[in-house]
Amino acid sequence: MSQMNMIQALNSAMDVALGSDPSVVVLGEDVGYFGGVFRVTDGLQRKYGEHRVLDTPIAEGGIIAVSIGMAVNGLKPVAEIQFVDYIYPGYDQIVSELARLRYRSAGAFSAPVVIRSPCGGGIRGGQTHSQSPEALFAHVCGIQVVIPSNPYDAKGLLLAAIDSPDPVLFLEPKRIYNGPFYGDPTQSAQSWSRHPLGEVPDGHYHVPIGVAKRVRVGHEVSIISYGTMVHVAQAAAEAMGVDADIIDVRSIVPLDVATIVDSVNRTGRCVIVHEATRFAGFGAEIAALVQEKCFWNLNAPIERVGGFDTPYPHAFEWEYFPGPKRIQAALTRVLEPK
């Protein structure tokens, strides 16, 4: 066991995979010599060579397309898209090719590519370095979508993704790369060094894809969240003294519906929190599933908390961000007596 932040945990996952499986290759913009703009691939090219950790041209569609070709030829590419805001030139290759190859060829071909990409705001990235587009990919049949919220899950999920026979979009909430974030940007930065989930095994382990995690057992209300917002929501609930049952979804696709339904059936109240814009966000899917499966146990309308339906504004980042106030207002509404 070592104490790691998310960057170190992700680096360790790729280190373990590159070291144990000669078919694993890492590729992307600035990932090789330089080690990545967030340092996630730091040292890997030095250790494994430039045939296994490749600096690529700045062409996201090309990165994803060549990864597909490599995977068809038996390699396991772990491609980095430097910011998920830049993934759209590769959208056709993801939607029409990567996600559907197994289906269209009736299982004759598959491309188990992992696409890693930093997502989310809170780092003054403006509208081109802050997006959370998980819903755009959740709607595509044939690709798994994963978002870890801590170093332990990050490494275990990334190794599970690399070992998966199906493609995975692995979104990394960059605001919590170095430490958990509890929703108040004026507070000094926290570190993972004293957090229990910063304690990470050095070797190989899996956190299974498709399994949500109950991060706090509570009785008054269920909070369904993922990524950065798990920490923000938990802090917001605790600050107002609400006894919340908090579910970290972890895996958007496939979604662990059973864990969510079990929680809401017990509490009778549900608040969904994500950073992405709210309209047609992934929260809408969770809300629909919850009302279908928990309707007769619900004591209040389901609440969705998200970013506003605007691009992520640079100067008004914290006004946009679905922080403690917005979460607490939603909690207050669902907890009002009938």
Partner 1 sequence: MANRSRLHVPHAPARPGETPDFSYVRLSAAGALAKPDCTASLDACAELSEGLIRVLGDDHHAVGAWNPSVEAHELQVGLRTMLLTRLFDDRMVAVQRQGRISFYVKSTGEEAVAVAAGMALKNDDFLFPSYRQQGLQLVRGTKLVDLMCQLLSNTNDMCKGRQLPVLYHNAAAHLFSISGNLATQFPQAVGYAMACAIKGEDRVAASWIGEGSSAEADFHQALVFAGVYRAPVILKVVNNQWAISTFQGTAGGEQRSFAARGPGFGIPGLRVDGNDFLAVYAATQWAAERARRGHGATLMELVTYRVSGHSTSDDPSRYRSKDEPSAWPLGDPIERLKQHLMTMGVWSEAQHQALVAELEAEVAAAWTEALRYGALNEGPQLNPELMFEDVFHALPPLLQEQRAQWQQERDPS
Rounded to whole angstroms, the Cα distance separating 17 from 27 reads: 14
Figure out which of the listed residues 15, 80, 166, 245 binds partner 1, where binding follows CB under 8 A. Answer: 166
Q: Shortest Cβ distance from residue 97 to partner 1 (Å)? A: 5
Assess 255 for contact with partner 1 (CB under 8 A).
yes
Figure out which of the listed residues 193, 208, 217, 258 binds partner 1, where binding follows CB under 8 A. Answer: 258
DSSP state of 78: E
What are the b/e assignments for 203-242, b being 16+ CB within 10 Å?
Answer: ebeebebeebbebbebebbbbbbbbbbbbbbbbbbeeeeb
Rounded to whole angstroms, the Cα distance separating 5 from 25 reads: 23
**3-state class of 115 per DSSP?**
strand
Assess whether 204 carries a catalytic annotation.
no
Task: Select from 8, 16, 4 the least CA-distant residue to 36.
Answer: 8
Q: Based on CB atoms, which residue is closest to partner 1, 108 or 189?
A: 108
Figure out which of the listed residues 141, 217, 280, 329 binds partner 1, where binding follows CB under 8 A. Answer: 141
Kindly compute the dihedral angle of the four CA atoms of residues 197, 129, 134, 31, in this order, to the nearest 10 degrees: -70
Interaction mask 85-124, partner 1, x per CB under 8 A: ----x--xx--xx---xxxxxxxxxx--------------
Interaction mask 295-334, partner 1, x per CB under 8 A: ----------------------------------------
**Contact between 230 and 215 (Cβ < 8 Å):** yes
Interaction mask 15-44, partner 1, x per CB under 8 A: ----------x-------------------
Rounded to whole angstroms, the Cα distance separating 197 from 173 reads: 15
Which of the stretches 29-37, 51-59, 153-161, 238-246 binds partner 1 when contact is defined by CB under 8 A? Answer: 51-59
Q: Based on CB atoms, which residue is closest to partner 1, 175 or 213?
A: 213
Both tokens assigned to 91: 């959208």
Q: Catalogue the active-site residues.
A: 129
Residues of this chain that interact with partner 1 (CB under 8 A) are 25, 51-52, 56-57, 59, 61-62, 65-75, 77, 89, 92-93, 96-97, 101-110, 141-142, 144, 165-166, 210, 254-255, 257-258
